[in-house]
Structure 1
Amino acid sequence: MEAMYKEFHSLWVDRSERAGMAFVNATTRALDASVEAARLDALGGRYERASAAMAEAIAYGRPRATGLRDQIRLLLGETYMVYFHGLTADALYAPEALPVLAAEDVRHHRDGGSLTHHLRGASEAVREAADEIVRQMTEGTFRYTAAGPFGRAVEEAREQVRWGDMDAAWHTLRAALPEWRPLGPDHLAPVGLCADPLLGPLITPERGRELLATSRAGQQSDAPAPAADLDPPGLAWLAEGDSGNFLVSERFLLVEGVEPVELPSRIGADEATVLDEPMTLRDPRMTDQDVSTWADEALTAVGRAGPGWSFAFEPRPGASFDERRFVSPGIAASRGTRAVTVWSEPFDGHRPGVFHLSVTENGEERYGFTVQEDAVSRHGPVPGALDPDHLFSPDEPHDERLGEHRALQALAAEIGIRLPRFALIRGRLHTLRTLSWSRPPGPGETYVTLRVLRQRP
């Protein structure tokens, strides 16, 4: 009987909407009052209680409840069937809701086609805005904006994110959340953040819960316990791999006292002077090279490696390390400063593991070493903390990367650097094609030129 009673109300809501009439009785008035109370609960950080009240109202077909609860569900990572009922066609809320749906469309290569269903009853201005949002999403140029202090925090966080400081960016947003203000009475949270190519990855389900538990829009409540930071310290995490088995090998350059924007003039291929726009390390452009010759140019992600350091990082290098032909980019990068170069190719059962570390200063290599299987070659006076004889043991399994773990841990402690794991795996970073990491062929040496063409869908 209760289920039939709920169905009766849902059917009459649909029928009344089509007829342009309001369906009102004691039950609908009580439910609508509970939805309004739930809205205030949500703004006050009591999102679980608010979500339960809205779910009950949705069962009776109360249309406002769905648009409100979808905002909570999205931030909790429950993206299935999130459509912001009625908000996408409303000129007031469309700038916040439409980008989320457009991002999902573009992610699934639908070019915004499914948005038509969510624009029923929308004005021509809203439809034009939707087309522009889809264009920006397709080109990766969409930028979430907000008014007031929270909007200023968004811009500060964007600057932090594009250099890899994603934990710091979340701290910036989190501190400004109490200052956020809704666009109208059906707006609960800055859900449009989730659609931003740079800032969206910040909003993990854990951080979404923290956002929802933080009082906003003038409401008052105790601050929730902060979600844990996502980046581990130092560099040793590189030897631990990742859940997607993406960072199985890498090479990177660390430069002291140089901003990331200065790296192109130091190590850019073809005298590059600017960085490319941010992209993910899984973007096909990061691995797709039409021509491979003796020149070993690396397409690297660029950012900050802690206070006073910048990095250029390439996952899964296409070339293998060859000490006879290797030319450290740190030589060019270290003009007037210091640079560290690391190249790691773990043992994979088919090729021997290689770990190279070198430090250059003012254009000259100060010291370095290469460990290949059980052989160690040295250059210059390696500090005791980085002595490969102490870090690598021939008695340990090659596939566990224990020596590499210790070497990276010691390197981070020695010079105080880190690499941002979350930004490298999940974020978008500026990119740079570097000068070659290998020397030209010498007299009498031969090489093969290969052209690799990938058919794109």
Structure 2
Amino acid sequence: MYQDFHADRAGIPGFTNDTTRALDADVERARDEALSGRWETARELLTEAERHGRPRARGMLAQLDAVAHGSRYYGFGELVADARYTGELIPVMAAARLRDERSDRPSRGFPLGAETGDGVTAAAEEVLDRVRDRTYRYAPDGAFGQAVAEAWESARWGDTDTAWRVIRAALPSWSPPGPDLLAPLGLLADSVLGPVVTRERGLELLATPRAGRAGAMPDPVPDLDPPGLCWLADTPRRNLPYDSYRCLWLEGVEPEAMAGLVGEEGGAGLTAPPRRRDGWFQHGTRQRDDLEPWEDRAVVAVGRTGSGWAFGCDTAPRASAAGSFFVSPASAASRDGRAVVLWAQRAHDGGLTAFHLSVAERGEELYAFTLRGTDVERSGPVSAALDPDRVLDGVGEDDRERRLLAAVQDELGLSLPRHALVEGVLPQLTTRSWNRAPRQGEAYAYATVRVRTR
């Protein structure tokens, strides 16, 4: 009742007493504690002040919760009406709202508060549109802004660990645009950098002194991406809703150039990743009405490995595995150097049913093999380090996929960024068909299943 008494009167001009003065002093102290990296102490002070309805407390507390806990929706109180914070708070509110927005019924706008001016409201509508179509980019000023731009370039092609290291190193140089902002919240709404700030990294951010404050630096959060390719086999089956994945790597090629080498003719080139949905890989394919039934155009997530290979990864191939009409895109993609294609197919119990590898250089296939069960089809002199008979000698069924992936990563120096693929950070590209047209006398069959729901 005592808290409610003060909260109900907090907006009345001239309402002050010993309690309000003490709580307002705590809010100011909480601000300094938060910027010094002692965010938990700040949260305790702000929680008590917010219960008494003290101005500024709610907005500051919501900032800490947004970074620390990833709440579904954030209300920042009267801070939203302050134009100094529009670029930091509005994008986070927009991203939270869009996570709950139905794809078939998009909404416009969101409540900002009765005291919000027309300028902030107009800016909010524009920000909402940019967050919705994934063109919003967080771009603060100063040295921290330069670090954010550098981190964005790393994260956009999948190197989210490097991106976080760049942001982490620059956090002490961050300065708020106004006294009541406690952290660079705009990071959370950026479609590329937002997934970089995991909950653990958010806690590290809050524990890092910034805005010129002194304090102990927190222990760095470990990197998220395991090296190489073996993580594809090590990931628990329940976290992989798809039974198959196929990937293409190009040596010495920038990711943007993949559209000209393997992209479909007349296609859109690289496009923004789809809106995030709950689940694992988000890069699915489905048969289009303008394609022949035998065509198999992959929708790949495009990025760059740490060793400089451009890659495209399709984690939901429409075709079940490389079949009789399959033509590896490695030769066509190897115009400027080596190209590698890998295609793995799993059974529903997680066992490996098919594994294809092909390597080409300067437009010519060097070697390839396709493993189905214990049968191996080869072409060209397969490297001894990759030959499946040698690699799988004495290997049990459960370890076959991992052994093959380990051989590929060790021999060719290939990798994939798990975090970027899981979070749907990477741009997409629709490739040319991985199947050729049936030749004279060849037959094929296909089936279409349509499910109608009420």
- Structure 2 length normalisation: TM-score? 0.91
Distance in 2, Cα, partners of 1:235 & 1:179: 36
Which of 400, 416, 420 matches 1:419?
416
Distance in 1, Cα, partners of 2:144 & 2:452: 44
Q: Which amino acid aligns with 1:34?
A: D
1:327 is matched with: 327
Which of 253, 257, 260 matches 2:255?
260
2:439 is matched with: 442
1:277 is paired with a residue of what secondary structure? coil
Q: CA RMSD in A?
A: 2.5
1:88 is paired with a residue of what secondary structure? helix
Relative to structure 1, the CA distance from residue 456 to residue 217 in structure 2 (aligned partners, 3 Å threshold; closer, same or farther) is farther
Deviations 1:112-143 (A, max 9, x none): 66722x33111111111111112222222212
2:54 is matched with: 62
Does structure 2 conserve the Cα–Cα contact (< 8 Å) formed by 1:280 and 1:428? no
Map 1:83-98 to 2 at 5 A. Answer: 83-98=75-90
1:276 is paired with a residue of what secondary structure? coil
1:449 to partner: Cα distance: 6.6
Q: Does 1:430 align with 2:427?
A: yes
Relative to structure 1, the CA distance from residue 237 to residue 222 in structure 2 (aligned partners, 3 Å threshold; closer, same or farther) is same
Distance in 2, Cα, partners of 1:350 & 1:44: 48
Map 1:346-385 to 2 at 5 A. Answer: 346-348=346-348, 353-385=353-385
Map 1:100-179 to 2 at 5 A. Answer: 100-109=92-101, 111=106, 115-116=110-111, 118-179=112-173
- Gaps of at least 5 residues in structure 2 are none
Relative to structure 1, the CA distance from residue 202 to residue 412 in structure 2 (aligned partners, 3 Å threshold; closer, same or farther) is same
Distance in 1, Cα, partners of 2:428 & 2:91: 25
Distance in 2, Cα, partners of 1:177 & 1:247: 38
1:54 to partner: Cα distance: 1.1
Relative to structure 1, the CA distance from residue 55 to residue 120 in structure 2 (aligned partners, 3 Å threshold; closer, same or farther) is same
Q: Which 10-residue stretch deviates more, 21-30 or 227-236? A: 21-30
Q: Does 1:231 align with 2:228?
A: no
Q: Which amino acid aligns with 1:140?
A: R
Does structure 2 conserve the Cα–Cα contact (< 8 Å) formed by 1:251 and 1:342? yes
Q: Does 1:5 align with 2:9?
A: no
Does structure 1 conserve the Cα–Cα contact (< 8 Å) formed by 2:283 and 2:315? no
Distance in 1, Cα, partners of 2:70 & 2:152: 25
Q: Does 1:41 align with 2:40?
A: no
- Structure 1 length normalisation: TM-score? 0.91
Q: Which amino acid aligns with 1:319?
A: A
Q: Which amino acid aligns with 1:125?
A: G
Distance in 1, Cα, partners of 2:433 & 2:219: 48
1:344 is matched with: 344
1:299 to partner: Cα distance: 1.1
Q: How many residues align?
A: 445
Distance in 1, Cα, partners of 2:322 & 2:18: 79
Does structure 1 conserve the Cα–Cα contact (< 8 Å) formed by 2:3 and 2:52? yes
1:78 to partner: Cα distance: 4.2
Which of 288, 291, 310 matches 1:290?
288
Does structure 2 conserve the Cα–Cα contact (< 8 Å) formed by 1:42 and 1:50? yes
Does structure 2 conserve the Cα–Cα contact (< 8 Å) formed by 1:281 and 1:425? no
1:146 is paired with a residue of what secondary structure? coil
1:153 to partner: Cα distance: 1.4
1:378 is paired with a residue of what secondary structure? strand
Q: Does 1:249 align with 2:247?
A: no
Q: Which 10-residue stretch deviates more, 357-366 or 440-449? A: 440-449
Distance in 1, Cα, partners of 2:175 & 2:234: 42
Q: Which amino acid aligns with 1:328?
A: S
Q: Which amino acid aligns with 2:74?
A: V
2:213 is matched with: 219
1:255 to partner: Cα distance: 1.0
1:65 to partner: Cα distance: 1.2
1:80 to partner: Cα distance: 4.9
1:92 is paired with a residue of what secondary structure? helix
Q: Which 10-residue stretch deviates more, 229-238 or 407-416? A: 407-416
2:197 is matched with: 203
Deviations 1:342-375 (A, max 9, x none): 0000122599710111211222221222111121
Distance in 1, Cα, partners of 2:276 & 2:379: 32
Does structure 2 conserve the Cα–Cα contact (< 8 Å) formed by 1:347 and 1:354? no
Does structure 1 conserve the Cα–Cα contact (< 8 Å) formed by 2:286 and 2:318? no
Identity of aligned residues (%): 44
Q: Which amino acid aligns with 2:285?
A: T
Deviations 1:359-394 (A, max 9, x none): 112222212221111212222222222121133368
1:428 is paired with a residue of what secondary structure? coil
Does structure 2 conserve the Cα–Cα contact (< 8 Å) formed by 1:234 and 1:419? yes
1:310 is matched with: 310
2:15 is paired with a residue of what secondary structure? coil
Relative to structure 1, the CA distance from residue 221 to residue 240 in structure 2 (aligned partners, 3 Å threshold; closer, same or farther) is same
Q: Which amino acid aligns with 1:106?
A: L
Q: Which amino acid aligns with 2:129?
A: R
2:265 is paired with a residue of what secondary structure? helix
Does structure 1 conserve the Cα–Cα contact (< 8 Å) formed by 2:172 and 2:208? yes
Q: Which 10-residue stretch deviates more, 79-88 or 216-225? A: 79-88
